[in-house]
Chain A
Amino acid sequence: MTAELARRGFLHGLVGAGIAAPIAAVGAHAAAATSVRAGAPTPASDAATTETAAAGPAASYPFHGTHQAGILTPAQRNATFAAFDLTASGRVELADLMKAITDRARFLTAGGAPQTVGITAPPADSGVLGPQVPADGLAVTVSFGASVFDDRFGLTDLKPHRLRTMEDFPNDDLDRATCDGDVLLQLCAHNPDTVTHALRDIARATRGAMQLRWRKDGFVSPPRPSGTPRNLMGFKDGTSAPALAAASAPDELVWTHAGGIEPSWVEGGSYHVVRIIRMLVEFWDRVSLHEQENMIGRRRDSGAPLTGTHEHDDPRYETDPTGDVIQLDAHIRLANNRSPEQAKQQMLRRGYNYDSGIDVNGNLDTGLIFACFNQDLERQFVTVQKRLIDEPLADYISPTGGGYFFALPGVRHRADWYASGLLA
């Protein structure tokens, strides 16, 4: 009970801070960013929660801050994950690229009137969002892949210590053409036209310096009918993150800290994992509800653990030690058995559904863009993923793409730029 209240308080705290931010943003971007980071279940954030419920999601999220937006930011309804390879040569060109992305992201996330060019050029803006570009809750989250730290830019010694090329896990079916990449842009906004406008704008401003390698567009479903949004297997996805309830959670589970084996520039960044997981939905739809629920460990309708009644009930594995109710290899039990050891393995999940087309059999190419943020890639995502190897659910999903990235620290102020700590 306490855990549930705290968890809700944390999430709502985030939303509250988000909606408060544009008001605070007039003079104090940094302060607003700090309040997102604090995100504690306080009476103040409860008050903001009430407002949020009435007002809907924030019109904009602050661009400047210790951390990037798009991580703790409540998931906007639409996203694209676009991985680029660098074609810039040398560190100076790489720094120029990062400055160019910073300029565009700063403008796009605030909105406003595009540059006027008179009779000297085609229009500076595509016009997709009308003559005045609305922020529309856009967050631009920039992450680097391990390949940035190969021998091309002389950055080998500055690689975030745990960053590496995503391995093939035993149940994976990865196509390397839709994996990896030097720079990942995670663009999230309330509406899909805002997302595609941002991608088009940034790509245009950076043509010579990076090239699209792969992309995947996603959406978050509305609550059906309530609670956590459902994935395309019909189950509520992302319900459980009990350890993230604490106010200290971001610092312990999300943000990477400098020092020890990590280089100093990584402070305030986060290991960003993206996995394109196709769901074999035609097959899944031919599986009995009982079998589906046993594989997941939750009721499909309510999202409740099979040992409970409501979505946010604790699974109380101690009352079910032999897996009579929630099987020992059920997805939720393997992912997190609620032991103190596994609490520190939890990650901040921020996934999107995708629905892309068809395969050669005429089956739907649909599934989940699993995205998560980790303080420590190895301790969190990789450890949990290894526990999921050969889980019963593995027969119904097919991970095809994605990669390991490092979400850069935030752009702190108007003179700062992405990766300045690495490249300046």
Chain B
Amino acid sequence: MRQGAKYGALGGAVVVIAAGVVLTVMMRSQPADEHPDAYAVDAGISGCGTGWVHPTAGVQIFDVRNTSIAGMEVYLQSATAKDVYLDLESLGAGSTTRGQATLGAGRYQFVCLPADADPIAGPVVTVSGAKHVANATAGIPPVTQNDLIPASKQYGAWIESRLPVLQGETDALAGDVTSGDLGKAKADWLTAHLEYETLGAAYGAFGDADTAINGMPAPGRNALDDPDPTGFHKIEALLFSGAPASAIAPYTSRLTNDVAALRADFPNTRIDPLDIGLRAHEILENALQFELTGETDAGSHTNLATLDANLTGTTHALEPLRGILKTRYPDLTKTDAAIAATQRLVESFRGADGSWQALANLTTAQREQLDAHVDETLELLAPIAAICDVRRPAT
């Protein structure tokens, strides 16, 4: 949903309208050793990639026209490997769109991928000149549905293995409340909530189950006065505002039922292969937006604990993608290091007795360190979603 909306906004007429202006600007600003002109390239059933002739190494600009009568995707790829340098998606029949890549000398070809037909490989084109050029576009083999299915199965299996643990923890919470031990309930609430927060429920991944288990109050309301939330944050609001056990019990009981429902239902749901790459960065995006702003705090002041759990969740979402990323993402090691450093910093805000500092109690310098760590980690995670976008195989 989110991905579709993002790409949808990029489509449309803007590029075409701007093309004339862009070209004029470029003629003046491009260094003389680069092609100032765009190649007019056809992408069709009877001819793919025609129009790219006698290129020399450097910036290549293409105006690619879909000459077929249906939607098309176009790759510019290595002729000798499966590395793709440019992917023009959702090219409507008859439309022209601009693409750009910076290439070193070598052999390349366009591949046209009609929506419901086999790929058509264009002629091999030799780019002459320097083997290595400045700011070259990196080429990688596209990640396919087949690559991602095992990863999403592995991730799903991990989540499934955690659900009984979550069940046990929410049962314990309900038991505390029933027996009237609200001190223990607070501790067990945190344990259960953090368990749930490792599961990567960012951006509605569990749908209605997430709303039931971890729903937030409506804008302008809080978890106490809004009747809609019933899960962790409602219980948090009651527990940490001194409500009596009798007022909390219906919600803890309901939570155990909602977790049981998720547990029963989850094996029947399939994690969309597209989601696994997105999850790897969205869990932490979600934490930045809702935890580091304190927005989800309903009285326990445990946003930092949640962030810690979300970092653990990010690591688990990343785990099944390692094989895919190892050859495609040179900053994977740096990403692991950034997650680990962020987690060390977050856990430094936890006292010896296990209690977490409230977000609001951090000094400006501490807050800036935290934001810097999270922000840098997010920048490193962002390419993973782009790389793991589901694509058709290269030729």
Contact = CB atoms under 8 A, between A and B. Distances in A.
A91 B364 CA distance: 21
Interface of A: 85, 87, 111-113, 115-122, 130-132, 134, 177, 204, 207-211, 213
Most buried by A among B29, B135, B378, B387: B29
A118 B383 contact: no
Given A85-B364, A132-B26, A118 B387 contact: no
B272 interface: no
Contacts of B26: 113, 132
A211 B373 CA distance: 10
A213 B363 CA distance: 13
A130 B19 CA distance: 10
A118 B15 CA distance: 17
- Which of A113, A115, A209: most chain B CB closer than 10 A? A113
B146 interface: no
Interface string B356-393: 00000000110011011101101100110111010100
27 contacts: A85-B364, A85-B368, A113-B26, A113-B59, A115-B135, A116-B86, A116-B100, A118-B84, A118-B85, A118-B138, A118-B139, A119-B86, A119-B389, A119-B391, A120-B140, A120-B329, A121-B382, A121-B387, A122-B385, A130-B22, A131-B100, A132-B22, A132-B25, A132-B26, A207-B375, A208-B372, A208-B375
B389 to A, nearest CB: 7
A213 B373 CA distance: 16
Contacts of B338: 208
A111 B33 CA distance: 17
A134 B25 contact: yes
A118 B22 contact: no
Contacts of B30: 112-113
Contacts of A208: 338, 372-373, 375-376, 379
B49 interface: no
A121 B369 contact: no
Interface residues of B, number: 43
B101 interface: yes
Of listed A132, A208, A211, residue having the most chain B CB within 10 A: A208
Contacts of B140: 118-120
Nearest to B341: A208
Contacts of A119: 84, 86-87, 140, 142, 386-387, 389, 391
Interface string B109-148: 0000000000000000000000000010111101000000
Nearest to B371: A211
Contacts of A115: 102, 135
Contact of B369 (A87, A116, A130, A131): A87
Contacts of B386: 117, 119-122
A120 B383 contact: yes
B98 interface: yes
Contacts of A117: 137-138, 386
A112 to B, nearest CB: 6
Interface string B302-319: 000000000000000000
Given A130-B18, A207-B372, 12 more contacts: A85-B365, A87-B368, A111-B29, A116-B101, A116-B137, A120-B386, A120-B387, A122-B382, A131-B15, A132-B26, A208-B338, A209-B372
Nearest to B377: A208
A158 B352 CA distance: 40
A16 B181 CA distance: 79
Nearest to B328: A120
Interface in B319-345: 328-329, 338
B59 to A, nearest CB: 6
A116 B102 contact: yes
Contacts of B87: 118-119
Contacts of B101: 116, 118
A133 B135 CA distance: 16
In this complex, the member of A87, A120, A210 whose beta carbon has the largest number of chain B beta carbons within 10 angstroms is A120
B368 A211 contact: yes
Given A119-B387, A122-B386, A207 B139 contact: no
A132 B29 contact: yes
